[in-house]
A and B are shown apart, each in its own frame.
Chain A
Amino acid sequence: MTAQAHRTGSAEALLEIRQLEKRFSLSGDFLDQLRFKGGKLVRKQEYVHAINGVSLDINRGEALCVVGESGCGKSTVARTVMGLLSPSAGEVHYDGTRIDNLGSRQLLPFRKRMQMIFQNPYASLNPRMTIQQTLEEPLRLHHPDWNRQQVVDQVEQVMTSVGIDPDWGKRFGHEFSGGQRQRIAIARALAVDPEFIVADEPISALDVSIQAQVLNLLMDAQRERNLTYLFITHDLAVVEHFGTRVAVMYLGTVCEIADTATLFAKPRHPYTQALLSAIPRLDDDGPQHIRLTGEVPTPVNLPSGCVFHGRCPYANARCRQEVPALQTQDDGVRVACHAVEEGRL
Chain B
Amino acid sequence: MTDSADKSAAAMPALPGRWERFRDSYLLYSFKRDVIAQLSLLTFIALVAIAVFAPWVSPMNPYDLAQIDIMASELPPFWIDGSDPTYWLGTDAQGRDMLSTILYGARVSLIIGFGAVALQAIIGVSFGLMAGYLGGRVDAFLMRLADIQLSFSTLMVAIIVGALVKAIFGGATFNAYAVPLLVVIIGLAEWPQYARTVRASVLAERGKEYVDAARVMGLRSKRIMFRHVLPNTLSPIFVISTVQIANAIIAEAALSFLGLGMPETHPSLGSLIKAGFDYIQSGSWWITLIPGAVLVVLVLSINLLGDWLRDVMNPRLYKG
Contacts and interface: CB of A to CB of B under 8 A. Distances in A.
Interface residues of B, number: 25
User: Shortest 5 CB-CB distances between A and B: which pairs?
Assistant: A111-B218, A124-B209, A128-B231, A118-B209, A123-B209
Contacts of A128: 231-232
A179 B216 contact: no
A332 interface: no
Interface stretch (A209-217, A268-276, A299-307): A209-217
Nearest to B234: A128
B138 to A, nearest CB: 13
A82 interface: yes
Contact of A104 (B15, B218, B232): B218
A224 B246 CA distance: 60
Nearest to A216: B1
A120 interface: yes
A220 B220 CA distance: 32
A118 B212 contact: yes
Contact of A116 (B1, B213, B228, B232): B213
Interface stretch (A43-51, A169-177, A252-260, A335-343): A169-177
Given A107-B218, A141-B219, A165-B10, A217 B213 contact: no
Interface in B119-158: 140
Interface string A105-137: 001100110011011100111111100000001
Contact of B208 (A123, A141, A168, A209): A123
B6 interface: yes
A244 interface: no
A185 interface: yes
Contacts of A188: 213, 217
B216 A213 contact: no
22 contacts: A79-B212, A84-B212, A84-B215, A104-B218, A111-B216, A115-B216, A116-B212, A116-B216, A118-B209, A120-B209, A123-B209, A124-B208, A126-B232, A129-B228, A138-B218, A141-B217, A141-B219, A142-B218, A188-B217, A192-B217, A213-B2, A216-B1
Given A128-B232, A137-B219, A141-B217, A175 B12 contact: yes
Given A29-B140, A185-B213, A213 B219 contact: no
A163 interface: yes
B3 interface: yes
A223 to B, nearest CB: 13
A83 to B, nearest CB: 8
A19 interface: no
B216 A82 contact: yes
Given A104-B218, A111-B218, A137-B217, A177 B9 contact: yes
Among B3, B10, B220, B232, chain A packs the most CB atoms within 10 A around the CB of: B3
A86 interface: no
Contacts of A108: 218
Q: Looking at B6, B10, B208, B218, which has the most chain A CB atoms within 10 Å of its CB?
A: B218
Select the residue from A118, A126, A170, A185 with max chain B CB neighbours within 10 A: A126
A125 B213 CA distance: 8
